[in-house]
Structure 1
């Protein structure tokens, strides 16, 4: 088990805001030396705490199209196969198992409402899916990813 210190948590929080922030700037904000921050980053990367760095597009660039949360009810013992079938759709940005009245929830993005309709129709043909419910995302009020 990897030990994460409060300073590690602060460092991770700063990286979530801007993963490209220079080490010197991170060190100043954390009150640590540059070398100490570099060592912490290396340890967090090597132990898998930091699995990858990524980008997030600006809202203006990523605004086109339509996003929705799509929930699925799945026949018992078919969830793994349904998950594999869903993974082949590039429009699915995330797919999660959840507790409650649904078994899976996905965030999907398409270019238009017509494309969303076609996608939902195609997904509905997957054997094992018994119910689909779609909630279109109107706007995002907070995104801390």
Structure 2
């Protein structure tokens, strides 16, 4: 997909401020509001902009622990266990990210909890009991050096 310079500017600006009114967006890009809105709607219709969301501060919400959890699930010819695992992950609100990976472990989960006591309970009562889990390894975030949702727009 090819993007115009205006499209790229729209994407850069909206990644920083998704609630920016169209008039202000058009002004920053240097175009009139109607063409700017048409370009924006086209980016939405094409799925380049998939959704708008508020980014919350997890610590202010009492979620002081963030962990990356590597999970090993048996890779068998029949994918039913893996499918059950994926469905269970999608239903668990404390798991805020899940990625299928290549390497020693099969999945990388991003998990949040109030504190270590809550994480311990989550690990024992939920994570280790997810369908097919054979092994699990947790790494805890001590400090976020860079934590962004902004993608590089060339």
Task: Kindly indicate whether the alpha-carbon contact (under 8 Å) linking 2:88 and 2:131 is maintained by their aligned counterparts in 1.
Answer: no
In structure 2, what is the equivalent of residue 140 of structure 1?
144
Post-superposition Cα deviations, 1:59-80, rounded to whole Å, max 9, x if no partner, equal 7624642111111111013322
RMSD of equivalent CA atoms: 1.9
Query: For the Cα contact (< 8 Å) 2:99–2:107, is it kept in 1?
Result: yes
Pair 1:87-2:90 in alignment: yes
Aligned to 2:107: 104
What does residue 152 of structure 2 align with? none
Residue of structure 1 in register with 2:4 after alignment:
5
Please state how far the C-alpha of 1:87 moved relative to its aligned partner: 2.1
> Hey, which bits of structure 1, 4+ residues long, moved more than 6 A?
none
Distance 1:24 1:42 in 2: 14
TM-score by length of 1: 0.87
**CA–CA separation in structure 1 for the residues paired with 2:57 and 2:92:** 24
State the shift of 1:39 in Å. 0.6
Q: Which runs of 5+ in 2 are unaligned?
A: 150-154
Residues 63 and 112 in structure 2, CA contact (< 8 A), matched pair in contact too: no
Task: Provide the aligned length of Structure 1 versus Structure 2.
Answer: 144
Contact persistence 2:62–2:114 (CA under 8 A): no
Q: What's the CA shift string for 1:87-122, capped at 9, x where partnerless?
A: 221101111111111111111111111111111112
